[in-house]
């Protein structure tokens, strides 16, 4: 169950997962998930989701949090049929159509770089030790649409601390799986694969940074980045990298895929900022997914409305230069 390769002085399985809950969350999730999916997919797809108590839960031991309570949620359908996941194609419906057979179990994540406890960890290994939470986050794509959905996951900081990053660890880099057999979009060089993203250490350690394994109480749909993806809700959506297989602690600012593909359009920071336009369009407003055509656009907020929690990270920085 706990498959670990190349982890000589790393964390012992016993330190990570108590023997007892070893037969593990994902198995449990899977079994109850079958049921839940059969019962719920059709109703979730056909009706807009409303109160968070109205959807089923595939997970056990999830703490409900105050994040985003009271916000109007998007529907399950919006969040799972209009996606950006270029590994499965570049149109918005491609991920939903092409990712259904994507195999995400077994899954492991390699931890490398400036940390005491590096190695490759089976996903169960990681999930066995974290406290799952549900958080409702606003999510704003750089293209100008946004959504509000409840995610299940855990604090990125809690995960990273366990690997004991050292004083040279100034940044954290993430990588998506590279597997053109399974990810047909990778057969074309639309991006420099594998998809990569990065955060400054203090950004990664901010309590808002979140590793998600589900949405609407369901195990993460493949098109949304199964089995594990990042969420950085004060930054444009492309920072929220999907289907992560590698996390590295680095001294230098890591490469990020969109920055490499168009450096003048996508910076390393990519904080949501209505005052810094994309060179080809304004970022002042956004369209909420699912909104009717007569509804007005929403004013985009600095740091996507999370300024109180994150503005201090950028004190003294010129946000037009470090966009």
Ligand X SMILES: Nc1nc2c(c(=O)[nH]1)N[C@H]1C(S)=C(S)[C@@H](COP(=O)(O)O)O[C@H]1N2
Binding site for ligand X (CB under 6 A): 83-87, 141, 176, 195, 224, 237-238, 240-243
Which stretches within the chain are classed as H helix?
13-16, 25-46, 76-81, 94-98, 123-127, 156-161, 201-205, 257-261, 307-310
The only residue of 16, 49, 141, 204 in contact with Mo ion, by rule CB under 5 A: 141
248 contact, one of ligand X, Mo ion, none, CB 5-8 Å limit per kind: none
Choose among ligand X, Mo ion, none what residue 186 binds, the Cβ cut-off being 5 to 8 Å by kind: none
CA distance 139 to 236: 8
Contacts of 250 (CB under 8 A, 6+ apart): 113, 114, 169, 170, 171, 172, 173, 198
Site for Mo ion in 213-272 (CB under 5 A): 237-238
Judged by beta carbon, residue 85 or residue 314, the one nearer ligand X is: 85
The set of long-range contacts for 178-183, using a CB threshold of 8 Å and a minimum separation of 24, is 182/101, 182/102, 182/103, 183/87, 183/88, 183/102
Residue 86 interacting partner from Mo ion, ligand X, none (CB closer than 5 to 8 Å by kind):
ligand X
CB 145 within 8 A of CB 288: yes
Say how far apart CA 205 and CA 270 lie, in whole Å: 17
**Shortest CB 35 distance to Mo ion, Å:** 33
Give yes or no for residue 145 binding Mo ion (CB under 5 A): no
| Minimal distance, residue 241 CB to ligand X, in Å | 5
Q: Which partner, ligand X, Mo ion, none, binds residue 120 by CB below 5 to 8 Å per kind? A: none
Of residues 81 and 301, the one with the C-beta less far from ligand X: 81
Judged by beta carbon distances under 5 to 8 A according to partner kind, the member of Mo ion, ligand X, none in contact with residue 224 is ligand X
**Which lies closer to ligand X via its Cβ, residue 84 or residue 271?**
84
CB of 220 to ligand X, least distance (A): 9
- Which of ligand X, Mo ion, none is residue 196 near (CB under 5 to 8 Å by kind)? none
Q: Is 84 in the site for Mo ion (CB under 5 A)?
A: yes
* Per-residue burial over 207-231, b = 16 or more CB atoms within 10 Å of its CB, e = otherwise: ebbbbbbbbbbbbbbbbbbbbbbbb
What would you report as the CA-atom Rg of the chain, rounded to the nearest whole angstrom? 19
**Which residues of this protein are in contact with Mo ion, per CB under 5 A?**
84, 141, 237-238
């Amino acid at each position: 169950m706990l498959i670990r390769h190349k982890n000589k002085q790393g964390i012992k399985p016993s330190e990570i997962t108590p023997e007892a809950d070893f037969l593990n969350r994902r198995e449990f999730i899977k079994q109850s998930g079958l049921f839940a999916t059969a019962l719920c997919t059709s109703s979730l797809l056909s009706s807009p989701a409303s109160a968070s108590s109205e959807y089923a839960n595939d997970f056990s031991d999830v703490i409900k949090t105050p994040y985003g309570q009271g916000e109007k949620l998007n529907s399950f359908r919006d969040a799972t049929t209009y996606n950006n996941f270029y590994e499965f194609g570049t149109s918005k419906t491609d991920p939903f159509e092409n990712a259904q057979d994507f195999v995400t179990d077994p899954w492991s994540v390699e931890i490398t770089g400036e940390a005491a406890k590096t190695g490759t960890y089976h996903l169960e290994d990681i999930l066995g030790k974290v406290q799952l939470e549900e958080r409702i986050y606003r999510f704003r794509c750089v293209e100008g649409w946004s959504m509000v959905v409840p995610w299940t996951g855990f604090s990125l900081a809690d995960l990273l601390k366990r690997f004991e990053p050292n004083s040279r660890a100034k940044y954290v880099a993430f990588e998506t799986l590279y597997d053109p057999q399974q990810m047909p979009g990778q057969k074309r060089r639309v991006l420099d694969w594998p998809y990569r993203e990065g955060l400054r250490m203090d950004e990664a350690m901010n309590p808002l940074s979140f590793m998600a394994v589900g949405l609407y109480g369901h195990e993460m749909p493949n098109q949304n980045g199964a089995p594990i993806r990042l969420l950085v809700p004060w930054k444009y959506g492309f920072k929220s990298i999907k289907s992560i297989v590698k996390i590295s602690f680095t001294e230098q600012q890591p490469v990020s895929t969109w920055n490499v593909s168009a450096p003048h359009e996508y910076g390393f920071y990519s904080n949501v900022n209505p005052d810094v336009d994309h060179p080809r369009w304004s970022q002042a407003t956004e369209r909420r997914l699912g909104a009717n055509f007569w509804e007005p656009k929403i004013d985009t907020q600095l740091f996507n409305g999370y300024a109180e929690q994150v503005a201090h990270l950028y004190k003294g920085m010129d946000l037009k230069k470090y966009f």
